[in-house]
């Protein structure tokens, strides 16, 4: 099946630093990529949608300047959490969708801000 | 009424049992239906994907869609302890700008050896 790779799987950093998470579609061209956040025992919460070469569309309540999304190619999207604080600690998951490909998810990134 | 309703469980069954997981929805624009399996601390894994009413089978898994009743199901035959996970139904409409998925809250399944 289609594979979406997400890196890193776990990151711990100090408050105030920025963290970049990468999401790659390994065997198909991702026309659209999505970034989700998931709190313990809850379902996925969509943060933003991005199409290759264009600006991301953010969901209501998601700070654009806090969560920077870049979708520079058909196989790569990045999420940068800027000036991260403890309240940004969460499980972040990307997904990718292509022509005739439903959304496939990465394995998630566990972000812990100290 | 939420767009997608899914019983969160938890659901506990003995190994070898047939498991039935269900979702109902209210938006008739939904045309694509998916089931994902999510293990703890992992991303969701696509199990089944269908866009027509009826049954679709893949190994031990059968997805069933009834658009007239706005009801979808996932059946797992000969359940195994490795099937213990949270199962998410998801659906989306078709057409420009409609690529976002709407998820159920997930059903937590435990298969007891």
Give pLDDT tens digits for A47-81: 999 988 788 999 999 999 999 999 888 899 999 99
| Chain centroid offset of residue A67 CA | 9
Look at residue A52 in the predicted model and tell me its pLDDT.
81
DSSP state, residue B40:
T
Percentage of chain A with pLDDT > 70? Answer: 98
Choose the closest CB to B105 out of A1, A43, A95. Answer: A43
Look at residue A41 in the predicted model and tell me its pLDDT.
83
Interchain CB distance below 8 Å, B43 and A1: no
Q: Is the pLDDT of residue B64 over 70?
A: yes
Q: Which residues of B touch A35 (CB under 8 A)?
A: none
CA B111 – CA B113 distance, rounded (Å):
7
A61 touches chain B (CB under 8 A): no
A71 touches chain B (CB under 8 A): no
- CB contact at 8 A, B48 and B60: no
Choose the closest CB to A102 out of B34, B41, B104. Answer: B34
Q: Is the pLDDT of residue A13 over 90?
A: yes
Structure tokens at B100: 């976002």
Look at residue B85 in the predicted model and tell me its pLDDT.
97
Q: Strand, helix or coil at A45?
A: strand
Look at residue B96 in the predicted model and tell me its pLDDT.
61
> pLDDT digits over B74-106, tens only?
999 999 999 999 999 999 987 766 678 999 999
Look at residue B97 in the predicted model and tell me its pLDDT.
62
Look at residue B55 in the predicted model and tell me its pLDDT.
94
* Nearest CA distance, A40 vs chain B (angstrom): 9
Look at residue A79 in the predicted model and tell me its pLDDT.
97
DSSP state, residue B30:
E
Look at residue B74 in the predicted model and tell me its pLDDT.
98
> pLDDT digits over B8-60, tens only?
889 999 999 999 999 999 999 999 999 999 999 999 999 999 988 999 999 99
Look at residue B1 in the predicted model and tell me its pLDDT.
64
CA B70 – CA B28 distance, rounded (Å):
7
Look at residue A54 in the predicted model and tell me its pLDDT.
82
More confident residue, A31 or A109: A109
Look at residue A1 in the predicted model and tell me its pLDDT.
65
B103 touches chain A (CB under 8 A): yes
């Amino acid at each position: 099946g289609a594979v979406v790779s997400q890196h890193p799987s776990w990151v711990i950093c100090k408050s105030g630093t920025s963290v970049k998470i990468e999401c790659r579609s390994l065997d198909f061209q991702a026309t659209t990529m999505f970034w989700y956040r998931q709190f313990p025992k809850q379902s996925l919460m969509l943060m933003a949608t991005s199409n290759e070469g264009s600006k991301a569309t953010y969901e209501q309540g998601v700070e654009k300047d806090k969560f920077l999304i870049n979708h520079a190619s058909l196989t790569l999207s990045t999420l940068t959490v800027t000036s991260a604080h403890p309240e940004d600690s969460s499980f972040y998951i990307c997904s990718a969708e292509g022509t005739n490909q439903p959304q496939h998810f990465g394995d998630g990134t566990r972000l812990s801000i100290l | 009424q939420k767009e997608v309703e899914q019983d969160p469980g938890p659901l506990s069954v003995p190994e070898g049992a047939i498991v039935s997981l269900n979702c109902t929805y209210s938006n008739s624009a939904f045309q694509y239906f998916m089931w994902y399996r999510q293990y703890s601390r992992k991303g969701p894994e696509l199990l089944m994907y269908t866009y027509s009413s009826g049954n679709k089978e893949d190994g031990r898994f059968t997805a069933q869609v009834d658009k007239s009743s706005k009801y979808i199901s996932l059946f797992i035959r000969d359940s195994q302890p490795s099937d213990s996970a949270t199962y998410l139904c998801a659906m989306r409409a078709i057409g420009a700008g409609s690529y976002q998925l709407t998820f159920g809250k997930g059903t937590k399944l435990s298969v007891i050896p």
